[in-house]
Structure 1
Amino acid sequence: MSSAPQHSQTADPTPTVPAAVSQQRRGSQGAGRRPVWAVGGGAGVMTGGLLLTVATVLEAGLGDGAPDSAVATFSAFYLAAAVVHAAAMLPLALGSTGSNGICGRRVLGTVALLSFGAVFLMSQVTYWVLSYGGGGSGPESAWILTAAGLTQLVLLLTASTVVVVARVAAGAARWAFPGLTAAAVVAGIVVTTASDPAVITGALLFSTCSQVVAGAVLLAGRARTATPRPV
């Protein structure tokens, strides 16, 4: 009598990891990575604010007969701050892939941040050219700077709204841009309406210091970690 061949079954030695545990591990690993918008954008905003704070103090000390060396020092800090601030909008808006910035995949916020950086750089350079570069100043120049300032506020307000709604940033980093926008509005009103140079300088320093604080908050920020779905 022939017997049917018996096939031995061996257990798989590899332990099975539940899907929920695996997802939690991936989430914890992702949470350990600092988002590009926090590292690059936060450092850029904070550095730009520090440079602009120094430039504001230096400009307050410039008089009609200021030596060329003092004007050159101020110009270096001022223009460097403008470039750094504008460059900081790139990692903030685009992240590392073009769609993982602080606004996520929301195109409106991404465009608002990039446009803000471009308009900010243009307005800062325009002010320097008109005031220190021999471009002259007049009513037309004042209107150009006023229009640029209002455009910046609109773009900053738009970006701030999208950042809050997108919920990409967690904790205080989510509210860094709204705080920066509020400080810019207050400083803009004071600078526009005040006539005392000391008051104007104080308002400008309030704005630049708020940039430093907002940059530090963004730099310490983390991306929101999604809660794993139950299996």
Structure 2
Amino acid sequence: MTAATAASTRPAWSTFGGGGILLAATLLFVATILEYVYWVVAEADSPGLLVAVVVTLGASILLYAAAVFPLAFGSRGSNGIVGRSVLGKVALLAFGLGFAVAETLYLIATYGIGADPGWGAMVFFVVQFVGIVVAAIVIARASIATGFARWSLLIGSALALVCSIVVRTTDSFEVVTVAYCVSTVIQAIVGASYLAAGKRTSVDA
């Protein structure tokens, strides 16, 4: 099989799902750094940084929401990373919905109306976390992703939970920023593992 043929047979869950997560996580990492610079260094007095934060975070939200569809459903003639599991598909969609709504509420509350996002964001965070844990278990059981990719989301979910606990139990903006950065790096590793697993799948086919 040639490299061109292998590329053409790479599954959609790898290319668009894994690639989407990798790119979204990278943008989220950049947005996290920009937020720190905006609030701490510029002391919330930089319209240019504000625009950069909103645009970068908004793009990340859209990419995450879009990435769950190829992960859940694959493309015509193929399944997603959860195979035929309806539970897995619903869990991935729940994660995408939970993440998109929670982050959008945060974005609007923090940079739009200047208020605490409140319990609404917390509810959708829980939806997001439950969805990703269930999806991770289904992905591991389905064995469509192989090697480290089979377990990466499960491991990443556990580590992301630790980061979330740190965020919610500290008053230090610096510690919060580091925890969010670590979380985004973990997410990027998950996305990269799906890209790598898809390459192996296409070559082995």
Please indicate, yes or no, whether the TM-score normalized by the shorter chain is above 0.5.
yes
Shift of 1:116: 1.0
User: What is the alpha-carbon distance in structure 2 between the residues aligned to residue 31 and residue 45 of structure 1?
Assistant: 19
> For the structure 1 residues 129 and 169, does the alpha-carbon distance in structure 2 shift closer, same or farther, using more than 3 Å as the test?
same
Range with bigger deviation, 65-74 or 203-212? 65-74
Query: Which of 167, 179, 182 is the equivalent residue of 1:191?
Result: 167
Listed as ranges, the gaps of 5+ residues in structure 1 are 1-24, 226-231
1:152 deviates by 1.0
Report 1:140-151 matches (<5 A): 141-151=117-127
List per-residue Cα deviations over 1:25-79 (Å, max 9, x = no partner): 9xxx999831111111110000001000000000011134422111001111011
Residues 1:98 and 1:160: Cα distance change in structure 2 (over 3 Å): farther
Task: State the superposition RMSD in angstroms.
Answer: 2.2
Structure 1 counterpart of 2:133, one-letter code: L
Number of equivalent positions: 195
Inter-partner Cα distance in structure 2 for 1:32 and 1:47: 20
- The aligned residue for residue 37 of structure 2 is 61
* Contact 1:184–1:207 (CA under 8 A) maintained in structure 2: yes
State the Cα distance separating 1:96 from its structure 2 match.
Answer: 0.5
Does the CA-based 8 Å contact 2:27-2:57 persist in structure 1? yes
The correspondence for 2:158, drawn from 178, 182, 185, is: 182
| Cα distance between partner residues in 1 of 2:144 and 2:193 | 14
Structure 2 distance, partners of 1:79, 1:32, is: 30
Residue 209 of structure 1: which of 172, 178, 185 is its match?
A: 185
Secondary structure class of the residue paired with 2:38: coil
Sequence identity (%): 37
User: Among 96, 104, 111, which residue is 1:125 paired with?
Assistant: 104
Q: Which of these residues, 65, 78, 82, is aligned with residue 103 of structure 1?
A: 82
**What amino acid is the match of 2:115?**
S
AA partner of residue 105 (structure 2): T
Q: Could you say which structure has the larger radius of gyration?
A: 1
Specify which structure has the higher proportion of helix: 2
61-70 or 165-174, which deviates more: 61-70
CA distance in 1, matches of 2:7, 2:140: 20
2:68 aligns with 89
Tell me the TM-score normalised to structure 1 length.
0.78
Query: How far apart, in 1, do the equivalents of 2:85 and 2:74 lie?
Result: 13
1:117 maps to a residue whose letter is: G
* 2:81 and 2:145 in contact (8 A); partners too: yes
